[in-house]
Structure 1
Amino acid sequence: MRVLLLFLTFLLAGPLQANPFAVKPDFLPVNEAFVLTHDRLENGQMRLHFQIKDGYYLYQKRLKFDGLPPEQHPPLPQAENHHDEFFGDSAVYRTELELLLPANASGELRLGWQGCADAGLCYPPQTTPIALGGAAAATPAADQASDQALAGTLQHDSLAWSLLAFFGLGLLLAFTPCSLPMLPILAGLVLGNGASARRGWWLAGVYVLSMALVYAALGVIAALLGASLQAWLQQPWLLGSLAGLFVLLALPMFGAFELQLPAALRDRLDRAGQGTRGGNLYGAALLGALSGLLLGPCMTAPLAGALLFIAQSGDVLQGALVLFALGLGMGVPLLLLVTLGNRYLPRPGAWMNLVKGLFGFVFLAMALYTVRGLLPETLVLALAGAWLIALGWAAWPALQRLPALRAIPLLGALWGGLLLVGAAAGGNDVWQPLQPFAGKSTATAPASGHDAFVTVSAPAELQRELDAAKARGQWVLVDYYADWCVSCKVMEKQVFARADVQASLDDVHLLRLDVTADSPASRELLQRYQVPGPPSLIWVGPEGEERRARRITGEIDAAGFLQHWAQTRSQG
């Protein structure tokens, strides 16, 4: 046991060490140069306080109070005059700035601000959401989980609160499709070995701990390497290999063969575990680490927020701990299901084969999901149809004792048949598989989504396009794109190629920032709006200011995009 603890301690120590070759930046991260706090006074007023580091200053004219009516804007204190190369003669604040909002201010304040350093750096405009309470409408849940809100939480809250917040987010991620393949692995480890309740807790706990340690290590590596790691992870050959691995994991679930570790490694683990009952702790640690590597979480706002925080602050220790808490949160529901849940499950029998078959279909679905952006849309539609037919065929006899439920696999198989027919006719819409037989599509525009965008690959080009749009008083949508980004290609086909989406963006200037190459220009474009990587969508208002709280990180469907854009425009 002491050897195991020493091994786990070594794993934890690795990702927490700062990069010995890293060069300390000349400038502080923006949220360290300008520390913003807020609290409620006894008289009901809300106090906003900026603590400004020496050598840095805030622009008075860049203070924005979106979400508040003009009569509730706070009076601005006297500022000092300053001349710089960015905005000429300006009024600025140094050392500190205190603002008082009236007691009747309610809703959510989107505080905009911008600062610079005397040494010659001007930070991008920032937007900080601040909940004021009251009866105003709350911000949608999706916005509350945005990457910037999470990064801000990490910057301003204590470590304990940050760990608690990301542990809770991990609990939510445990119920996403990305986490489902972990369940049969852990269930087989605990239930398949006939472990006692106490032994099951140990096995599941070591499994979850190892998985969380891998998340912490991968998160730190991803933050240190930036977009180059993301580019490598989305290479077609790697995605194809992962899909093949999912198929390989599915075959044993259908009884094709028994998947085992190599004989040499299996014998070594058996010798190490001689005398143990109900499974081996070393094997649990190994399987947990492999699960973290192979079946890690999808690109979600919580993970993006953690990576954004690490990149901005350079605090590798706190970043690793936060991602470790996220991994623990993802593993706890799995742990409870295979330990406490074991008491309420029937004894081993034929039902376990049904469960194995179900997870086999889950693995096949994950394989198709992984490579969906690499295959022709008609082929994806056909494979989805074949998957539904096979699932319905397998579920029909399993539900013979529940005739009321047999309509579900029957309907699924019928829909799968429609998908195959639609694919044979050249269709590509899973919800409208017979659209090719209805004539011209009303959902997809003749032109591709790519044609509607102006492609930009250099920072100077981006600035010229932004300046031109500002002069016209035009909204701008900035789309971070890369050839190796599978989600980017999916959104190009399924979101930006739709006629209704293009109609909603008719008066919006569309810019596509191509960061395919790992070059200084790409890194500067990513740094411009401090995004973790593509796909990321940035909204810039007619006055040239980003709506920071409204950005989209990761893949989104057409309906979600249209709703998001409508809310963004309505908020001005």
Structure 2
Amino acid sequence: MRTLLIALMLLFSSLTQANPFAQSDFLPVDKAFVFSSERLDSGQMRLHWKITDGYYLYQKRLKFDGLPVEQQPALPEALPHQDEFFGETLVYRGELELILPASATGQLRMGWQGCADAGLCYPPQTNLVSLSSAAVDEQEQASDQALAGGLQQSGLAWSLLAFLGLGLLLAFTPCSLPMLPILAGLVLGNGVSARRGWALASVYVLSMALVYAALGVIAALLGGSLQAWLQQPWLLGSLAGLFVLLALPMFGAFELQLPAWLRDRLERAGHGTRGGNLYGAALLGALSGLLMGPCMTAPLAGALLYIAQSGNAVHGGLVLFTLGIGMGLPLLLLVTLGNRYLPRPGPWMNLVKGLFGFVFLAMALYTLRTVLEPSLWLGLAGAWLIALAWAAWPALHGLRPIRALPLLLGFWGSLLVIGAAAGGDDPWQPLQPFRAGSSTVVASAVHSDAFITVSQPPDLQRELDTAKAQGQWVMLDYYADWCVSCKVMEKQVFARADVLAALNGVRLLRLDVTADAPSSRELLQRYQVPGPPSLIWIGPEGNERRSRRITGEIDAKNFLEQWAQTRSQG
């Protein structure tokens, strides 16, 4: 009897899953995630989400714009969730309750995003909450850039430690280290006591660090309003070109240092001073932060671009302040312990320069990851690994325990280049095209050319009119960069040769709703689509086949079956 019961359950399960297109009954976002807020008797504000079974909220998508750091709510423990493309993330299920302190005032812009287990990602949402009352003023869709939370997603302590180390490295680059004695003379003058020298050098370093902190705050504030603008391909290409340009002096293409006339004048000024003063040291530190840090040009540009995408002024200011402190620590060491404890210029400085060069090239590749074709990006990444291995092999001469590392890097880089040449796009499985077979995977160029990307309603209407005039089927593919299932389907469904062959003659329109813009909302509202991924079939006469709509993630086999049934029914 038990065996029969189990068999019936398995049969029922297989029947319910045989037609995955029946999973189109996804709840509207306001039904899947019921948000409410209320003022408690204690004066605190309670934010609450009732999350329907089968749905979840991303912890990292929670945003609290308008609240200072000290008033932001403590997030409860979340559950681990594995995304194929975004890795392991933390999510909330069932319900989520957050408490804001009674001292919080003004207007809170709550940002959040949720998904369904069945494979649908809702667009990012925003609730405007007046903290003077419990009313929610309005709800609208909001963009959520993955890069915008860079500094927030990594712990602040780790960010501060990383930038402190970066500052120390910058202080020992070839154009900074020779300046230390000159700076010591300018700050201290002649004949000051050790205690006085420490005070003067500390004021100098703090002033320089404050200048960098101000740059970090400005970059973060500007970045908060320019995030969408920073994602434009022409700008990303320009930023990548800047990183490549800044890497060239690290490899000896040209020198990046103070002009000799300015360096000589500073040295003569240092010899002519007697005893420093706090105001002069502070002014000199501020000027140094802007003018006397030639080695800061490249890394500071990268740091500011990195911070600009975070939109967090507090974190941006703190990390660049820490970088300035790291830059100034060798000066403090010089005025307290003397020259004999500082490392001398030598061949090791070229290793530091080379390391920075490869870091800048990696940043250029990272910037271009959403612009380049996946296969091209994979090939460039492989070339970067090969070049790094080639440069590291002689540098690690004599260090037998770790000298095998360049060999491994070079080997993996070669696999990436070979996989890219075959049309692969997965850095962890570069040889997948050779294993998958010719009938399942096609070159990225063929896949990309098959779709027409549309982000504006007039462009969509023009494409639909053209298809109707030609008696052509149309498939609308709603897509967003933040949609995990979209990326899964792009790789596992629309990159297959058999799928593209079956869609031959169909006008394939990819509706990009990544950005938070009226055009994206209009594209979603035209066919009442809850979010990506959603696939809509438009017949040759221009009417949608509503019963054949696919909402949520689907695999290649079921997609081909659905399209065959749709086409056979006309």
Shorter-chain TM range is 0.3 to 0.5
Give the greater-gyration-radius structure (CA).
Answer: 2
Q: TM-score, normalised by structure 2?
A: 0.46
